[in-house]
Chain A
Amino acid sequence: MLPELGHFALILAMLLAFLQALFGIAGPALNRERWVAATVPAVAGQFVMVATAVGCLIVSFVNFDFSVRYVAENSNSALPLFYRIAALWGAHEGSLLLWIIILALWTVAVTVGTSRLPKHFSARVLGVLGFISFGFLLFTLLTSNPFLRLEPPPPDGVDLNPLLQDPGLTFHPPVLYTGYVGLAVAFAFACAAMLEGRTDPVWARWTRPWAIAAWAFLTWGITAGSWWSYYTLGWGGYWAWDPVENASFMPWLVGTALIHSLAVTDKRGLFKSWTLLLSLVGFSLSLIGTFLVRSGVTVSVHSFAADPTRGMAILIFLCVAIGCALALYAWRAPTLRSSGGFELTARESFLLFNNILLVIAAATVFAGTIAPLIAGALGQRPLSVGAPYFRPTFLLPILPLLALLSIGIHANWKRGRVADSRRALLVTAALACAFALAVVLGAYSGQHFLAVVGLVLGAWIILSSAVDPIDRLRRRLTLSRGVLGMTLAHVGLGVAVIALSVVEPYTVERDIALGDGQSAHVGAYDFRLVGTRDIDGPNYSATRAEVVVSRNGRTITTLFPEKREYWVRQQEGTKAGIKNEYGTDLFVALGDDLGAGRWSMRAQVRPLITFLWLGPVLMALGGFCAVTDRRYRLARAAADAPQPIGPGVKERTA
């Protein structure tokens, strides 16, 4: 009964999403106030229905209802409760449902957050969001319904993929989706501004907190995914330039460009059409990413053929959504003009370069990701594109970006007056160089040119970002949340750049074969296998090794890497043994039983890798901090005033 209820709720949600889109988009256009007013109840109803559907599926999982195909395929009577709930997003159908409920949550948040904005504008935003939700609900119901029954029901389920049975994974997809889907809000704001024909840049201020929040979630989600793959997949990789990773990285790069471009539009009324375009492109890349991943086109050509309906359905929706948005843009963008001026060294110039370089980086990643598809479509020899392509081509725009950042944050709007900060810039640059040399010459063996460049740039970003905030705090002046958030995010970037510059060249990795009591030298450390024993988990059995790590004869830690065999799917999983020592990870993953008590294992010594996660976490925190800036609350309050557009803004719109 419950699955049918969930199915029915999903159908109602789709109808409500359709009404939400209709009322939201047509209501303001036809000046029908009752339609405009009806968008809010439509949002509420849609959310309740989606939540009901999700609840029904969760209850089916919790109650082991294996008559539901999705439950049977992704859980098992031995699966712990926690993972039975997380199994909701363990495969295709459920993760679409997750996508939809997260969009519904964002929509509710937007409804609350825009309640003080002009009614027609917020109705249009909700209308566009309703359209997106309608598309995904339709897609789910037609091609990927999670509520289908099995007849007769199997006695037990197939089990959740063991790789997904990890606490890290439980939180990774929801967070990442929150970021991914959050870009839809910026998309909707941009569409609403264009539908309304707004030529003033006030919508940019309204959009900013939403775009920043989505970006922060995306940052957090990508980092969590990288960390999760590092420690749970057991091979110590954190980024592989894989199509699926790229699919999340491209929206992030464009989202980063967007939050900077929004700042210029908000503060100076410039780059209006560019900011609109970035809002559209950011979410379009989310959709394209969904298409790339869902259809399976990039993983192999064959899986596309295996399920062409799903791929085609997403492709059609993608074309409709992006096509409509771009048509709207082509119609409205030419009406946008601004008369503001700025000098070469003004903040606007630096942010212009920021945008151009980030978009080039995204375009490069895009080119590398789709090149194999293009080769396939043209019937050419198959092509592979991996790290050896992405690394150099990505650094090409990113290195100048990092260098310009340190200078750019000292530039003022309109007239740069960078010269005023010349001393601070020179002193921080000198300190950064000294730091880089000390690290390369002192702490790690072997000199790498790129490591030095990265260390200098990273340290310079941190020091240079900190100068003004520290100066203001010393003079007992307040710091707005926006500036504090920006500083945190930039410092986080610097930390990540430093970590990457050290992790990449100075990681020591060796695959070793050890018998009981034998040891091997990896970097400055000795890894000694004490022994192995068999243990049982709740739904797996495992071999657990005991590996003692020592340095110069002094024992540092004991690691317990595991190789698991999950009973139901007869599938293997690894659990690496990791110990962090002063930011350096000592890592062992268990390989194969070579016979005669010998085991192969992968040992790694990764310096500073902790900071590779810490950096992006700081960036995300910075984003969340900036969202709470008073400015945005005041922007909403200002919209309540009888004259919705401030005097300053009017002048700019000439």
Chain B
Amino acid sequence: MRARLLGPCACALALLLLAALPAHAVDTTRMPTPALEARYLTLTHEFRCPVCEDESLADSDEAYAGEIRTQIRQMLLAGQSDGQIRDYLVSRYSEFITFKPEYSLRNAWLWLAPVVLLLVGILVAVRIIRARAALVDQDVEPVEDDLIADPRMSPAGKSAVPR
């Protein structure tokens, strides 16, 4: 998707785009059944055009992307499974072609990072809360209520609020 441009430096990208601005593809390919159609759309969105900057096969206007789309269509029509098509594309064009990194040893950190971080985060939170819960009875400081809009309650406000 060309939505790449919407980032923080859309303007910055203008520079990058000076070189080439491939038009967006409108792929009017029809598959014989809705089920095949859905699979075709899923697959063409999951793989990237190997020669474009961050565009999916479905979105790319490059002839090369069109050829790969044709391959996918033919494999679908030949009755191959999604898994077979994925394996074929990755073996043929290298892992670069898929937007979904493979579940492999080298990508293990990438896929495990969110899960590990979540577990570590929960552990850390539990430890902090345990330590703080033990202090709660000694903590005699008054706490202002958020919903009370009277700022005279606030400690910093006390000294300076004009009457």
| A pairs with B | yes
Provide the residues of chain A in CB contact with B154, threshold 8 Å: 631, 634, 646
Provide the residues of chain A in CB contact with B100, threshold 8 Å: 386, 388-389
**In residues 1-37 of chain B, which contact A (Cβ within 8 Å)?**
1-18, 21, 23-29
Interface centre among B14, B133, B154, B157 (most CB of A within 10 A): B14
Provide the residues of chain B in CB contact with A574, threshold 8 Å: 24
Does A260 reach chain B (CB closer than 8 Å)?
no
Provide the residues of chain B in CB contact with A652, threshold 8 Å: 141
Provide the residues of chain B in CB contact with A468, threshold 8 Å: 147
Name the distance in Å between A411's Cβ and chain B's nearest Cβ: 11
A164:B7 contact, CB within 8 angstroms: no
Q: What separation, in Å, do the CA atoms of A94 and B142 have in the docked complex? A: 52
B149:A478 contact, CB within 8 angstroms: yes
B1:A296 contact, CB within 8 angstroms: no
Q: What separation, in Å, do the CA atoms of A646 and B138 have in the docked complex? A: 21
Does B117 reach chain A (CB closer than 8 Å)?
yes
B8:A360 contact, CB within 8 angstroms: no
Q: What separation, in Å, do the CA atoms of A239 and B3 have in the docked complex? A: 6
Q: What separation, in Å, do the CA atoms of A363 and B115 have in the docked complex? A: 11
Q: What separation, in Å, do the CA atoms of A282 and B156 have in the docked complex? A: 27
Which of A267, A290, A643 is B159 in contact with, Cβ under 8 Å? A643
Name the distance in Å between A388's Cβ and chain B's nearest Cβ: 4
A348:B8 contact, CB within 8 angstroms: no
What is the chain B residue whose CB lies nearest that of A393? Answer: B114
Residue-by-residue, is A289-303 near B (CB-CB < 8 Å gives 1, otherwise 0)? 110011010011001
Does A54 reach chain B (CB closer than 8 Å)?
no
B149:A339 contact, CB within 8 angstroms: no
A511:B124 contact, CB within 8 angstroms: no
Stretch in A76-84, A102-110, A222-230 touching the partner: A222-230
What is the chain B residue whose CB lies nearest that of A391? Answer: B100
Does B77 reach chain A (CB closer than 8 Å)?
no
Interface centre among B3, B48, B144, B145 (most CB of A within 10 A): B3
What is the chain A residue whose CB lies nearest that of B137? Answer: A341
Provide the residues of chain A in CB contact with B147, threshold 8 Å: 468, 472, 479-480, 483
B6:A245 contact, CB within 8 angstroms: yes
A382:B8 contact, CB within 8 angstroms: no
B10:A344 contact, CB within 8 angstroms: no
A240:B3 contact, CB within 8 angstroms: yes
Interface centre among A226, A383, A396, A479 (most CB of B within 10 A): A383
Q: Which range holds the interface residue count of chain B?
A: 35 or more
Name the distance in Å between A159's Cβ and chain B's nearest Cβ: 10
Does B160 reach chain A (CB closer than 8 Å)?
yes
Which of B7, B13, B15, B101 is A383 in contact with, Cβ under 8 Å? B101
Provide the residues of chain A in CB contact with B21, threshold 8 Å: 163, 571-572
A371:B9 contact, CB within 8 angstroms: no
Provide the residues of chain A in CB contact with B26, threshold 8 Å: 511, 589, 591-592, 600-602
Provide the residues of chain A in CB contact with B115, threshold 8 Å: 396
Q: A245-B4, A396-B114, A630-B151 are in contact. Are A646 and B156 (CB under 8 A)?
A: yes
A635:B157 contact, CB within 8 angstroms: yes
Provide the residues of chain B in CB contact with A483, threshold 8 Å: 146-147, 149
A386:B48 contact, CB within 8 angstroms: yes
B159:A641 contact, CB within 8 angstroms: yes
A413:B143 contact, CB within 8 angstroms: yes
Q: What separation, in Å, do the CA atoms of A339 and B138 have in the docked complex? A: 9
Q: What separation, in Å, do the CA atoms of A393 and B118 have in the docked complex? A: 11
Does A504 reach chain B (CB closer than 8 Å)?
no
B118:A397 contact, CB within 8 angstroms: yes
Provide the residues of chain B in CB contact with A32, threshold 8 Å: none
Does A488 reach chain B (CB closer than 8 Å)?
no
A164:B12 contact, CB within 8 angstroms: no
Q: What separation, in Å, do the CA atoms of A246 and B10 have in the docked complex? A: 13
A339:B139 contact, CB within 8 angstroms: yes
Q: What separation, in Å, do the CA atoms of A518 and B107 have in the docked complex? A: 49
A244:B4 contact, CB within 8 angstroms: yes
Does A415 reach chain B (CB closer than 8 Å)?
yes
Q: What separation, in Å, do the CA atoms of A630 and B153 have in the docked complex? A: 12
Does B95 reach chain A (CB closer than 8 Å)?
yes
Residue-by-residue, is B99-142 near A (CB-CB < 8 Å gives 1, otherwise 0)? 11100001101110111011001101100110011111111011
Q: What separation, in Å, do the CA atoms of A425 and B142 have in the docked complex? A: 26
Interface centre among B10, B97, B128, B145 (most CB of A within 10 A): B10
A382:B12 contact, CB within 8 angstroms: no
Which of A226, A415, A651 is B6 in contact with, Cβ under 8 Å? A226
Q: A356-B121, A382-B95, A646-B156 are in contact. Are A229 and B136 (CB under 8 A)?
A: no
Name the distance in Å between A409's Cβ and chain B's nearest Cβ: 10
Stretch in A3-11, A85-93, A433-441, A612-620 touching the partner: A85-93
Provide the residues of chain A in CB contact with B122, threshold 8 Å: 356
Q: What separation, in Å, do the CA atoms of A95 and B136 have in the docked complex? A: 51
Which of A380, A591, A651 is B141 in contact with, Cβ under 8 Å? A651
B11:A90 contact, CB within 8 angstroms: yes
Q: What separation, in Å, do the CA atoms of A176 and B145 have in the docked complex? A: 34
B4:A164 contact, CB within 8 angstroms: no
Q: What separation, in Å, do the CA atoms of A641 and B110 have in the docked complex? A: 52
Does A453 reach chain B (CB closer than 8 Å)?
no
What is the chain B residue whose CB lies nearest that of A652? Answer: B141
Provide the residues of chain B in CB contact with A73, threshold 8 Å: 18
Does A64 reach chain B (CB closer than 8 Å)?
no
Provide the residues of chain A in CB contact with B74, threshold 8 Å: none
Name the distance in Å between B157's Cβ and chain A's nearest Cβ: 4
Provide the residues of chain A in CB contact with B2, threshold 8 Å: 229, 233, 235, 237
Name the distance in Å between B37's Cβ and chain A's nearest Cβ: 9
Does A541 reach chain B (CB closer than 8 Å)?
no
Q: What separation, in Å, do the CA atoms of A360 and B94 have in the docked complex? A: 30
B157:A244 contact, CB within 8 angstroms: no
Q: A95-B11, A648-B158 are in contact. Are A414 and B136 (CB under 8 A)?
A: yes
Residue-by-residue, is A564-598 near B (CB-CB < 8 Å gives 1, otherwise 0)? 00000001101000000000000001011000000
A631:B118 contact, CB within 8 angstroms: no
Could you list 20 examples of A-B contacts with CB < 8 Å?
A94-B11, A163-B21, A234-B24, A235-B1, A244-B8, A299-B54, A339-B138, A340-B141, A341-B138, A356-B121, A367-B110, A375-B106, A381-B96, A383-B107, A384-B95, A389-B101, A511-B28, A589-B24, A591-B28, A634-B154
Q: Name 14 extra pairs, CB < 8 A, besides A293-B12, A299-B16, A389-B100.
A: A92-B12, A164-B11, A173-B9, A235-B1, A242-B3, A244-B7, A290-B9, A356-B124, A388-B99, A389-B110, A396-B115, A397-B121, A414-B136, A634-B154
4 nearest A-B pairs in the assembled complex, by CB-CB distance: A648-B155, A244-B7, A386-B99, A591-B26
